[in-house]
Structure 1
Amino acid sequence: MDRLPTLDTPRLLLRPWRDADRIPFAEQSGDPKVMSFFPGPMTPVESDALADAIQAHFTEHGYGWWAVEVKGGDPFVGYVGIQHCDFAAPFAPAVAIGWRLAAEHWQEGYAHEAAEAVLDFAFDRAGLEEIVAFTVPANLASLGLMERLGMTYDARDDFQHPHLPPEHRLRHHLLYRLSRAAWQARG
């Protein structure tokens, strides 16, 4: 795993996952507050399976959801990264940026700081042309972060998440986009 990229920001280290990350990740994955805009809290077994999938994505693509560590502080506060969409949608194939941090680390600017580093990596080092992001309309914090990152929304891109049943309260998603040209032209 040492060959996988590590991203450095003023306050954070975005790094490959360690075995020690699995316990705090399982705690976050089981927290109803953290998982309020996901289908539901995960069991420790489900959380471990997701951690395995994250590591497999890194191995296959050279990037993924990095473990976020606070320099001189908490060794694991969650993840921020980019990942290939694993479902059929009108905008796919696509690479999506995503984040999930422990609730005690919300509103500290960590997601924004980490997401900027990830976008620099995506466009400058990975050579991607576009990054998407999506969430449900009620997730105002994530929607605000998408806008602060310079991502744009077009209602024509709204979609029903195929991993959720038709009646699920979180099935309707909004899609935001960011091109490499727009990222590089920011002020």
Structure 2
Amino acid sequence: MTTTSPLGPTLETPRLLLRPPVADDFDAFAAFCADAEVMRHIGGLTPRPMAWRAFRTIAGAWALDGFHMFSVLNKSTGEWMGRIGPLYPDGWPGREVGWGLNAKWWRGGYATEAAVACMDFVCDELGWEDIVHTIAPDNAGSQGVARKLGSVNRGPGKLPDPFASHATEVWGQTREEWQENRKRF
């Protein structure tokens, strides 16, 4: 289910709420960015001042583009779990649905549940025809989420600076493929 507020859309799944970030999310976001295990495959540790900039960039993208990462909230506890959603940075290999959750929430199906809602959003609301996921070659967890979504590994990709030195694989599928893959959920 999707509802819209002045901040942007809110997506609801059986266990999650996905909404644009609000200022009260920042402390949890900064802790997420300071967790080495969480950040190992998504750019590396980010000190609080840089996390502040990244957080504000996400909010700005919502204002300028009408999309970016959602804050993911646990419906039963209200806890901030991570960020998942659409992004398309300058120089990126495609329009992406990406994900990152706090380690506490790994292996519970939450990333897949949120990514399904985001795939629906980018196809149905944003009209994207092709969706990618840029994944580190040794990130088995994210590869598993991509496989569950029905995405396939399209091979090595190149990210723009400052991530150009990070090895990445581009996983993805078309809108039409998602419409077929969506039937499994």
- Structure 2: distance between partners of 1:85 and 1:178: 19
- Structure 2: distance between partners of 1:114 and 1:38: 18
2:180 is aligned to: 185
Q: How does 1:1-187 map to 2 (within 5 A)?
A: 2-87=6-91, 91=93, 94-155=94-155, 158-164=156-162, 168=165, 171-186=166-181, 187=183
Q: What letter is aligned with 1:127?
A: G
Q: Which stretches of structure 1, 4 residues or more, deviate above 3 A after TM superposition?
A: none
Question: Percent of counterpart pairs with the same letter?
Answer: 30
- Structure 2: distance between partners of 1:71 and 1:79: 15
Provide the TM-score with structure 2 as the length reference.
0.90
Deviation of the 1:15 alpha carbon: 0.7
- Structure 2: distance between partners of 1:38 and 1:15: 21
More strand by share: 2
Q: Name the CA shift for 1:79/1:2 in 2 (closer, same or farther; >3 Å).
A: same
Aligned-pair RMSD on alpha carbons? 1.6
Deviation of the 1:165 alpha carbon: 7.0
Provide the TM-score with structure 1 as the length reference.
0.89
Q: What letter is aligned with 1:102?
A: N
Q: Name the CA shift for 1:165/1:7 in 2 (closer, same or farther; >3 Å).
A: closer
Deviation of the 1:159 alpha carbon: 2.2
Deviation of the 1:3 alpha carbon: 4.4
Q: Name the CA shift for 1:161/1:147 in 2 (closer, same or farther; >3 Å).
A: same
- Structure 2: distance between partners of 1:11 and 1:138: 28
Q: What are structure 2's unaligned runs of at least 5 residues?
A: none
Q: Provide the aligned length of Structure 1 versus Structure 2.
A: 178
Deviation of the 1:62 alpha carbon: 1.3
- Structure 1: distance between partners of 2:81 and 2:68: 16
Q: What are structure 1's unaligned runs of at least 5 residues?
A: none
